[in-house]
C-alpha cells in the first residue's frame, strides 16, 4: 500500500488508440494504490508511517470487536470488514439487537467479496473497501436514484423496440437496479471484468454503470424479447452468465464514449 506507484493510465490510453480489449487485470489495484480514494497522503516519504498507522488501526478495531464478541477467529473477513465499518461509523448495534444484514449491509458485503478477490492483503483490502464505499456514497449517493431513468433514456436511443417491450411486459420496473447500481455490479460481473468498471467509477464517473446496464440489455435482447414474464427477466438479469462479460464491458465503454465523449469525471 505504501509503494510509490504512478497512476495507471493504461485503460484511458488503450481506449484512445483503439486497443480496448487489452488485458487490464492489475489496473484497478494499481489505480487504487495510486490513492484516488485518499488512503495515503500525497508525500511519499510518509507512506511507510501512514501504512503502519493503518495497520495498527485495523488491528485495534478488530481486537475491540473480538473483545465485544462481535467477531471471533473463524469470522469470515467480509463479515469482519462489515463490523469494522459499522463500528467506525457508529452504526454497530448491540449484539442482542443484531439481525440479518439489511440492504445497505448487503451492498457493502457484495463490494467486500469482490474486493477480496482483487486484493490479497486483508489490511489493504479493508481500507480499499472502506474508502471505496465511503467515496461512492458521498460522491454519487444523490445520483444513484436517477440512474434507472438515465438507462431508460439511453435505451430509447439505442433500441426503442426493446424499451417498449420491457415497458409493456412490466419488466422495466423489475430490472435489478440495486444489484447493478448500488453495488457497482459487484456480484453481477466476474472480478476480471469488474475491475475495468470500477476503474471508471474511481476515476470520477458513476454514469459508466448506466452503460454497463445498457449493454447487458442489448447483448441479451433476443432472450428479453422472447419472454413477457417480468419475473423471468429479473431472475435472468440477476444471475447473468459469466462468459462474454469482457466484451460487454468493452462495448459499454464504447457507448460511454459515444454519448459522453471522454468523460473522465462525468457524473
Does residue 75 carry a pLDDT above 50? yes
> What pLDDT is recorded for position 95?
76
User: What is the 3-state composition of the chain as percent helix, strand, coil, each rounded to the nearest 5?
Assistant: 65, 0, 35
Cell of 94: 448491540
The C-alpha cell 441479451 sits at 220
Does residue 6 carry a pLDDT above 50? no
**pLDDT band of 37, cuts 50, 70, 90:** low
| Residues 24, 7: Cα–Cα separation, whole Å | 14
**pLDDT band of 124, cuts 50, 70, 90:** very high
| Residues 243, 246: Cα–Cα separation, whole Å | 8
Tell me if 41 sits within 8 A of 47, measured CB to CB: yes
Q: Which residue has the higher pLDDT, 44 or 1?
A: 44
> What pLDDT is recorded for position 256?
95
Least confident of 3-17, 28-42, 105-119, 195-209: 3-17
**pLDDT band of 32, cuts 50, 70, 90:** low
**pLDDT band of 86, cuts 50, 70, 90:** very high
**Average pLDDT, integer, range 247-262:** 92
> What pLDDT is recorded for position 142?
94
Q: Which residue has the higher pLDDT, 8 or 252?
A: 252
| CATH class of this structure's domain 141-267 | mainly alpha
Tell me if 246 sits within 8 A of 13, measured CB to CB: no
**pLDDT band of 94, cuts 50, 70, 90:** confident
Q: According to the CATH classification, is domain 35-140 in 2.40.30.170? A: no
Q: Matching CATH topology for 35-140 and 141-267?
A: no
**Average pLDDT, integer, range 20-49:** 59
Q: What is the pLDDT of residues 54-73, one digit of tens each?
A: 999 999 999 999 999 999 99
> What pLDDT is recorded for position 41?
66
| Residues 60, 212: Cα–Cα separation, whole Å | 39
CA atoms within 13 A on the CB side of 206: 23
Count Cβ atoms within 10 A of the Cβ of residue 242 and give its class: 0-12 exposed, 13-18 middle, 19 or more buried.
exposed
Q: What is the pLDDT of residues 176-228, one digit of tens each?
A: 999 999 999 999 999 989 999 999 999 888 999 999 999 999 999 999 999 99
For the chain, the structural domain boundaries read 35-140, 141-267
> What pLDDT is recorded for position 42?
67
| Residues 190, 249: Cα–Cα separation, whole Å | 11
**pLDDT band of 50, cuts 50, 70, 90:** confident
Tell me if 94 sits within 8 A of 25, measured CB to CB: no
**Residue 189: beta bridge partners?**
186
The overall average pLDDT reported for the chain is: 85
How distant is the alpha carbon of residue 94 from its chain centre? 29
Burial 186-212 (b: 16+ CB within 10 A, else e): bbbbbbbbbbbbbbbbbbbbbbbbbbb
Residues 6+ apart with CB under 8 A from 131: 37, 38, 39
| Percent of the chain at pLDDT exceeding 70 | 81
Q: What is the pLDDT of residues 138-184, one digit of tens each?
A: 999 999 999 999 999 999 999 999 999 999 999 999 999 999 999 99
* DSSP per residue, 179-213: IIIITTTBTTB-HHHHHHHHHHHHHT-STHHHHHH
Tell me if 202 sits within 8 A of 184, measured CB to CB: no
Amino acid at each position: 500500500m505504501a509503494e510509490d506507484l504512478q497512476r495507471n493510465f493504461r485503460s484511458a490510453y488503450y481506449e484512445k488508440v483503439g486497443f480496448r480489449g487489452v488485458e487490464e487485470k492489475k489496473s484497478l489495484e494499481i489505480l487504487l494504490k495510486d490513492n484516488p480514494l485518499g488512503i495515503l497522503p500525497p508525500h511519499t516519504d510518509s507512506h511507510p508511517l501512514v501504512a503502519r498507522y493503518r495497520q495498527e488501526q485495523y488491528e485495534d478495531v478488530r481486537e475491540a470487536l473480538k473483545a465485544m464478541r462481535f467477531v471471533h477467529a473463524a469470522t469470515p473477513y467480509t463479515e469482519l470488514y462489515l463490523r469494522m465499518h459499522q463500528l467506525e461509523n457508529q452504526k454497530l448495534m448491540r449484539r442482542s439487537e443484531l439481525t440479518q444484514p439489511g440492504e445497505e449491509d448487503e451492498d457493502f458485503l457484495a463490494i467486500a467479496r469482490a474486493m477480496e478477490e482483487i486484493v490479497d492483503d486483508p489490511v489493504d483490502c479493508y481500507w480499499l473497501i472502506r474508502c471505496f464505499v465511503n467515496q461512492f456514497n458521498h460522491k454519487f449517493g444523490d445520483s444513484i436514484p436517477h440512474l434507472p431513468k438515465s438507462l431508460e433514456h439511453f435505451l430509447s436511443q439505442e433500441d426503442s423496440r426493446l424499451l417498449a417491450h420491457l415497458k409493456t411486459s412490466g419488466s422495466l420496473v423489475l430490472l435489478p437496479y440495486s444489484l447493478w447500481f448500488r453495488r457497482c455490479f459487484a456480484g453481477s460481473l466476474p472480478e476480471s471484468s469488474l475491475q475495468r468498471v470500477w476503474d471508471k467509477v474511481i476515476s470520477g464517473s458513476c454514469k459508466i454503470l448506466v452503460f454497463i446496464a445498457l449493454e447487458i440489455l442489448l447483448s441479451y435482447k433476443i432472450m428479453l424479447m422472447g419472454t413477457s414474464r417480468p419475473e423471468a427477466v429479473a431472475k435472468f438479469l440477476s444471475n447473468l452468465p459469466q462468459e462474454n462479460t469482457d466484451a460487454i464491458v468493452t462495448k459499454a465503454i464504447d457507448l460511454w464514449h459515444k454519448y459522453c465523449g471522454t468523460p473522465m469525471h462525468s457524473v
